[in-house]
Structure 1
């Protein structure tokens, strides 16, 4: 990879991290504090949350019939998602130590904290929990797949791909054969360095 491109990607990574940190600090200053896994709102904010809550009966009566009709299809995915969760976790637990690849921490991706929002009723909390789990699990599985791809085949596609993972932009250009095996060793070593940290 061109050294200038590498420098730009590094700068982008640093700026993304700074932006995420700054946005998170601003949000927590304005709205809440995190104590362990518990999120605490100022009493004035918590009061507004309680007053904004829609009762379950009013919520059900305000729902559209199509919401109830499609619910079995939406929530029917819980079994495949749970199976994916088990399979990807077992895969990582067995394969990553063998190759010296740092494991992705599930808790960094599957974050379940929306149940603490006082303005959500029971059904809204249930919906949020489902979405938190599904999206967190997909992100967790994507990271495990990304680390696997970095180890075995860190090569970009010839065609444009939407929704690539964070590691993809640093991969080798399609068809760039020069010193492929030596560069593959560098990609693998980067995964091992994370294990040692």
Structure 2
């Protein structure tokens, strides 16, 4: 194992550790997750309502320039929905043919912030949009990563800003022999998903 593989393995381990820590934070803020539903005690819900801002104050405090940006924020929703449907159909039709395990959309698109009583209606809509859009990007990235692992599992020559979850399975740039000898093996290395 070379240094790059070692570092990618550490990153993977740290990401798993982070997910555990994020799950454990539930105790600090007195909520539980039961059957994918967030549950707060009645006392916590009442305390949260005390922190809710009136939507009219929220809009007023935002200012004119922020309000004028709203159409630009919401413009990508139509292409995002089209991307969502396209990627869902793509993996539904192609992944079984390639033998790639399907990506569970629900693991990436998590819509739970509407349960927070300290958010007003506008904040909840904004949180819904951001959760959907960022979750969608994560979902699409994972589908693309698994596709890349199947079709072109070669690392880049130049460093990339952020590597996806499958990158550690890729061949070093320029390793022609390793690529030819190991491509069929790498195309099936999905035991970790």
Partner of 2:37: 38
Deviation readout 1:13-46 (Å, 9 max, x if unpaired): 2343133213421x11111100112111233332
Instruction: Give the 3 Å change call, closer, same or farther, for CA 15–67 of structure 1 in structure 2.
Output: closer
- The answer to whether the Cα contact below 8 Å between 1:102 and 1:194 also exists between their aligned partners in 2 is no
- Residues 169, 186 of structure 2: 8 Å contact kept: no
**1:76 and 1:66 mapped to 2: Cα distance?**
17
What is the total number of aligned residue pairs between the two structures? 192
Give CA deviations for 1:115-165 in whole Å, capped at 9, x if unaligned.
Answer: 111100000000000000100000000000000000011111111211221
Please give the residue correspondences for 1:98-113 in structure 2 after superposition, counting only pairs within 5 Å: 98-113=97-112
- Is the Cα–Cα contact under 8 Å of residues 34 and 40 in structure 1 kept in the other structure? yes
Q: Cα offset for 1:8?
A: 5.2
Tell me the residue number matched to 2:13: 14
Q: Quick one: higher RCO (CA 8 Å, sep 6+), 1 or 2? A: 1
CA distance in 2 between partners of 1:3 and 1:72 (Å): 48
Aligned-partner SS, 2:101: coil
- Is residue 88–residue 141 contact of structure 1 (8 Å, CA) maintained in 2? yes
Cα distance in 1, alignment partners of residues 61 and 2 from structure 2? 57
- Residues 92, 9 of structure 1: alpha-carbon distance in 2 compared, 3 angstrom cutoff: same
- Contact 2:149–2:169 (8 Å) recurs in 1: no
**Corresponding residue for residue 87 of structure 1:** 86
Shift of 1:12: 4.1
* 1-structure distance, mates of 2:11, 2:59: 45
Greater shift, 171-180 or 147-156, is seen at 171-180
| Residue 64 of structure 2 corresponds to residue 61 of structure 1 | no
Aligned mates of 2:158, 2:178 — CA distance in 1: 23
Unaligned runs of at least 5 residues, structure 2: none
Tell me the TM-score normalized by structure 1.
0.89
Name the SS of the counterpart of 1:104 in structure 2. coil
Q: Deviations 1:56-101 (Å, cap 9, x if unpaired)? A: 1111221211122111111011000000001111111010011111
Cα distance in 1, alignment partners of residues 40 and 75 from structure 2: 34
Match of 1:184 in 2: 183
Q: Give the gaps of 5 or more residues in structure 1.
A: none
In structure 1, the residue matched to 2:121 is 122
Alpha-carbon distance in 2 for matches of 1:119, 1:148 = 41
